Amino acid sequence: MKKFLSNYWKSIIVVICILYLSFTSPSTFDGIPTFENEDKLVHLLMYGGLTGMLIFDFRQSVKKIKEHISSFILSCIVFPILLGGLIEILQPRYFAPRTGSWGDFAFNTIGVFIGLGFMWFFKDFINSDFMKKFMKDLFSKH
């Protein structure tokens, strides 16, 4: 468990943020300027960001993804899709006036695949020595 927490703490923080944003009363965000369908953009960004962070954390904990492909698919693709679906089911039942919607779930899922595509497209940069040093310096204890 300690190894899991040390490998995935950044992803866990993203999940906590998504849970907060998903279950907090909508009135909490009344002062924030909005535009039509901005919630769909937020869903894309939240789940794309979660997927990207899961992939980043997975890459840090596993040397070769190809040898752990089923774990990769479960943790970086299936998990965020199931999380989005579970949140959409729980919102109207336990967190009124929140509502769940198929549209939100669809945008959560699209966000997962956008995050996957983004990480694949930028994989060479993400795996570069520069990025590894940057992340190590950013998160190291001083």
Model pLDDT for residues 108-122, shown as the tens digit of each residue: 999 999 999 998 888
| Short-list 117, 41, 39, CA closest to 77 | 117
Rounded-to-integer distance, Cα 59 and Cα 95, Å: 35
pLDDT of residue 122: 83
Residue at 139 is within a domain? no
Residues 6+ apart with CB under 8 A from 99: 91, 92
pLDDT band at 141 (very low <50, low <70, confident <90, very high): low
Residue at 3 is within a domain? no
Residue at 9 is within a domain? no
Cis peptide bond N-terminal to 97, omega within 30: yes
Q: Does pTM top 0.75 for this prediction?
A: yes
Residue at 14 is within a domain? no
Structural domain of 91: 39-132
Residue at 33 is within a domain? no
| Short-list 89, 114, 112, 115, CA closest to 22 | 89
Residue at 86 is within a domain? yes
Residue at 34 is within a domain? no
